[in-house]
Amino acid sequence: MEKQKEEGISLADLNAVAVVVGLDRHFNTLKLAYAGMILHGPPRAGWGEEEEKGKRKAPSSPLPLFIATNEDPQIPIGAENILVPGAGCMVRAVATVSGREPDAVCGKPKVDMATILFAEEGIADARASCLMVGDRLITDIAFGNAAGCQTMLVLSGIEGMQDIERAKRERRSELLPDYVADSLACFIP
């Protein structure tokens, strides 16, 4: 272990098969640099020369996967719902430094997980049996609409009626909810 400390650890020695990016309250440039280097793959002979010409040599082995947990740009914290950077900020930073887009996004608005859940639960008609409730149009409502569910925006979180109006003006039907409620509290008897 002491020898590794003195010499450092080669990225090739890490043998990483994936970089998973999610919300990290301790995200920093060192983590960003490592993610970028891992996603580029280990340096290869002639790599720098080709990179300068704008052509990257094909890797001899598959590059590690780039997996994002979600792409939320901000998340609310505290009683005042102050917006702070969400996982999407970290995903965009890693995408920028690596020059790659995620190979998979596990969270909303991607419907992969909904497809698996619907198949396992035998849900053939999501519109008739599922209601996606959320406070953000670009993730929650877009997810529900893409998955074929009914959707409801609650106004107790991130977005409000002005955001629905903007989506209408921009003709972004994938962001329009079927229902709007002040909060989930209106359903409690």
Tens-digit pLDDT profile for residues 83-127: 899 999 999 999 999 999 999 888 888 888 888 889 999 999 999
Name the band, by pLDDT with cuts 50, 70 and 90, for residue 78: confident
Q: What is the mean pLDDT of the chain?
A: 86
For domain 2-105, say whether CATH 3.40.50.410 is its number: no
Q: What CATH fold (topology level) applies to the domain 125-184?
A: Rossmann fold (3.40.50)
What is the pTM for the complete model shown?
0.68
Sequence ranges of the chain with CATH classification 3.40.50.1000:
2-105, 125-184
> Residues 126, 147: contact at Cβ < 8 Å?
yes
Rounded CA-CA distance 147/113 in Å is 10
Q: Which of 34-43, 150-159, 166-175 is predicted least confidently? A: 34-43
Q: Taking CA 15 as the corner, what is the angle to CA 13 and CA 18, rounded to the nearest 5 degrees?
A: 145
